[in-house]
Amino acid sequence: MAEIHLKSLAHSYSDTPTGPDDYAIRHLDHVWEKGGAYALLGPSGCGKSTMLNIISGLLQPSEGDVLFDGKRVNELSPRDRNIAQVFQFPVIYDSMTVFQNLAFPLKNTGVPSSQIKAKVHEIAEILEIEGELHKKAKNLSADQKQKVSMGRGLVRGDVSAILFDEPLTVIDPQLKWKLRRKLKQIHEQFDITMVYVTHDQLEASTFADKIAVMYGGQIVQFGTPTELFEQPNHTFVGYFIGSPGMNLIEVQRCPRGVCFGSTVVPMSAHQVEVLQRVQSNNIRIGIRPEFIQASDVPADDTFEAEVLDLEDLGTYKIMTVKLDCETLKVRLTEDQQFEIGRQVQLSFPEKWLKLYVDEFLVEEKNQ
Ligand SMILES: Nc1ncnc2c1ncn2[C@@H]1O[C@H](COP(=O)(O)OP(=O)(O)OP(=O)(O)O)[C@@H](O)[C@H]1O
């Protein structure tokens, strides 16, 4: 296994790129550390597959270096990079048996047949396909085929990393959860660097210790699921992580903070100082539905809003409110009671009220 360093990487599918919009990867610096279990999370078209294909060598980047343990591998073929890649759809040989499919990557590298047998059985047992080893691959169900595809990546003990590109797309929803747990268990057992691409936040957080959130060809944040939730570095992370995502409000600067409509929201001294310094007018505040406090009692620091809707989701409720010209979501506990059409008092605890300039977080001084 290896540490994978992507250094000043950029990629355009166009031979004559004229601007940032022509780049699928925009000047990206990132390190996937040795032995980590990572997810690469982002919407369709943000550049996830492009990045994986650059790591595995299927694609040459337009700019920058790919380093494995500090050594540049740009010129190495996919085979010489020793990366296992599992794609969205199973890549297996239909005419071979499951055993032959799993043995194939080992045979190719000259592993003795006694070792091949032991390794194939070990992996088949983990993936629960031992009973299928002598079946022809073409006779398997779609999810069994994908398990074989994963197994082909996992049999090789010598790989630098395993890259999973949305591997559970074809898997039955009930089996997805089980297979994700299995991959996590395999990671713990074999300690291989694994990068798991998905656009599903639940899938990302059940598999990975750390998640890279990709947006517009850039990694906008790399952190634990808790960090992404509590401290989104970019408005996209706020919006994309969480259900519903972060409330984001376009605001203008005013003397003690920011305002929208006739509502003034005081900000911390540091945030006010930053607002006075920066030139941009692309300013937003963000607060997660979970962190807005709602009550019937007005206070100095509360804002009055109207309840538009209440959605009961079993163990909690989502309340939609209108505050001035903005619609916000507020997460309530089961026992909190508010009525549609009535007024509610909201407060935004300072710790959870975030300021974004040009979509990036203005960090508090002590963080
Ligand atoms: N072979 C190609 N030729 C031209 N443009 C491409 C090619 N492959 C991808 N792109 C473009 O590059 C951008 C990034 O695509 P990429 O497939 O890497 O995104 P992704 O995040 O993996 O998306 P998805 O989740 O839909 O697979 C997109 O705008 C896409 O249209």
**Would 76 be classed as within a structural domain?**
yes
* Contact partners, residue 222, CB within 8 Å, separation at least 6: 30, 210, 211, 212, 213
Residue 129: phi and psi, rounded to 5, are: -125, 25
* Closest approach atom of ligand 1 to CA 214: 21
Longest dimension (CA), the chain: 77
**Would 316 be classed as within a structural domain?**
yes
Residue-number span of the structural domain to which 60 is assigned: 4-238
* Contact partners, residue 301, CB within 8 Å, separation at least 6: 347
State which amino acid sits at residue 284: R
Q: Token pair of 83, please?
A: 């990366």
Same domain, 252 and 105: no
Confidence at residue 367, expressed as pLDDT on a 0 to 100 scale: 54
**Would 110 be classed as within a structural domain?**
yes
pLDDT per residue rounded down to tens, the chain (367 residues): 789 999 999 999 999 999 999 999 998 999 999 999 999 999 999 999 999 999 999 999 999 999 999 999 999 998 889 898 999 888 899 999 999 999 999 998 889 999 999 999 999 998 889 999 999 999 999 889 999 999 998 888 778 899 999 988 878 887 888 888 888 888 888 778 999 999 899 889 988 999 999 999 999 999 999 999 999 999 999 999 999 999 999 999 998 899 999 999 999 999 999 999 999 999 999 999 999 999 999 999 999 999 999 999 989 999 999 999 999 999 999 889 999 999 999 999 999 999 999 999 998 776 5
* pLDDT one-digit tens code per residue, 317-345: 999 999 999 999 999 998 899 999 999 99
Q: Which residue has the tokens 């992507």?
A: 6
Beta carbon of 11 within 6 Å of any ligand 1 atom: no
Same domain, 139 and 175: yes
Same domain, 50 and 19: yes
Alpha carbon of 162 to ligand 1 centroid (Å): 20
Closest by CA position to 123, among listed 94, 152, 101 = 152
**Would 309 be classed as within a structural domain?**
yes
Same domain, 43 and 9: yes
Mean pLDDT of the chain: 93
CATH number where 215 lies: 3.40.50.300
Same domain, 80 and 116: yes
Q: Which residues of 107-118 are buried (b: 16+ CB within 10 A; e: fewer)?
A: eeeebeeeebee
Q: Nearest-5° angle of CA 294, CA 359, CA 8? A: 140
Mutational test site, ligand 1, from 6, 49, 236, max ligand atoms within 8 Å of CB: 49
Q: Is the dihedral of CA 307, 313, 314, 317 positive or negative?
A: negative
Confidence at residue 58, expressed as pLDDT on a 0 to 100 scale: 94
Same domain, 73 and 18: yes
* Residue nearest to ligand 1 atom 12, measured at CA: 24
* Residue nearest to ligand 1 atom 9, measured at CA: 50
Domain closes at, from 238, 256, 277: 238
Same domain, 324 and 342: yes
Domain closes at, from 209, 238, 267: 238
Beta carbon of 13 within 6 Å of any ligand 1 atom: yes
Beta carbon of 44 within 6 Å of any ligand 1 atom: yes
**Would 321 be classed as within a structural domain?**
yes
**Would 367 be classed as within a structural domain?**
no
* Residue nearest to ligand 1 atom 25, measured at CA: 44
What is the 8-class DSSP label of residue 337? -
Confidence at residue 273, expressed as pLDDT on a 0 to 100 scale: 93
Alpha carbon of 216 to ligand 1 centroid (Å): 11
| Number of domains, the chain | 2
Same domain, 254 and 347: yes
Mutational test site, ligand 1, from 25, 44, 88, max ligand atoms within 8 Å of CB: 44
Q: Which residues of 187-226 are buried (b: 16+ CB within 10 A; e: fewer)?
A: beebebbbbbbbbebebbbbbbebbbbbbbbbbbbbbebe
Kindly provide the ipTM of the predicted complex, given to two decimals: 0.98
Closest by CA position to 39, among listed 148, 127, 167 = 167
Domain closes at, from 238, 255, 284: 238
Same domain, 214 and 251: no
Closest by CA position to 84, among listed 57, 46, 61 = 57
Same domain, 144 and 34: yes
Q: Nearest-5° angle of CA 87, CA 93, CA 97? A: 120
* Residue nearest to ligand 1 atom 2, measured at CA: 13
**Would 366 be classed as within a structural domain?**
no
Paired strand residues for 303: 346
Confidence at residue 33, expressed as pLDDT on a 0 to 100 scale: 95
Same domain, 334 and 259: yes
Is the separation of the CB atoms in 134 and 184 below 8 Å? no
Query: pTM of the predicted model, to two decimals?
Result: 0.91
Same domain, 311 and 255: yes
C-alpha distances in Å from residue 364, one per residue of 70, 224, 367: 34, 19, 6
CATH number where 265 lies: 2.40.50.140
Beta carbon of 153 within 6 Å of any ligand 1 atom: no
- DSSP E strand boundaries for 69-209: 71-72, 83-86, 161-165, 194-198
